[in-house]
Amino acid sequence: MNKVMNAIVGGWATTGIFRWASGLPGVQPFDSSQWATNFQVQANGVAIRQVSSSPTRTGDPNLFSDPAYAYQSYRNAYPGEFGDRNILRLPSAVSLDMGLYKSFQIVERVKATFRAEAFNVSNTQHFTGISSRGLVRDPWTSQTPGGAAPLPPSTFGKFTGIQGTPRVFQFALRLDF
């Protein structure tokens, strides 16, 4: 190539990092402040039937497709119990970061390097954090009027944040002499 075409088209380099992570353990709902153990921490709720996370991504994102069912699937820990841990999983996360680099020889002893980098190229948001603290009630002692099972608060199972950051671009110009 001639010098002009080489300056425009030649010598570019790319980099990239692709990450896929399975879902992190989700926070178990805590009991209703009954402190079932002698430790200085509140116990987690205990599942009384099988519960699995099935995140909804439309409307108001929630860890559970049926929050009422999930809420009614937990009871307070009995004295001496610690409660369940790590049985719920947050959604998996995928991320792609990319960079584009080009070096130019300006004069014999001076070189410039241009860099353009993008983090979270696809701008995919992965939800994390669940609103669940202090929400579990004992289904046998906290019935609603008429004997129906208790309904969850409106925030139960809602995602409270995102993993990582939205798409970010950065540009740099470096001179070596």
105-143: per-residue pLDDT in tens? 888 899 999 999 999 998 887 777 776 554 555 544 554
pLDDT at 34: 64
pLDDT at 125: 78
Cα separation, 46 vs 122, in Å, equals 38
pTM above 0.85, yes or no: no
Q: What is the DSSP string of 20-84?
A: EEPPPBPPPPB-SS---SSSSSPPBPEESS------B-SSS-BS-SSHHHHHTTEEPPPTT----
pLDDT at 134: 47
Q: Which amino acid is at 136?
A: V
On whether the CB atoms of residues 50 and 147 are closer than 8 A, the answer is: no
pLDDT at 130: 74
pLDDT at 132: 59
On whether the CB atoms of residues 83 and 36 are closer than 8 A, the answer is: yes
Please give the structure tokens belonging to residue 69: 């069912």
On whether the CB atoms of residues 151 and 71 are closer than 8 A, the answer is: yes
pLDDT at 155: 78
On whether the CB atoms of residues 90 and 63 are closer than 8 A, the answer is: yes
pLDDT at 100: 96
What's the gap between Cα 44 and its chain centre? 21
Mark the ranges of the chain whose per-residue pLDDT is less than 50. 134, 139-140, 143
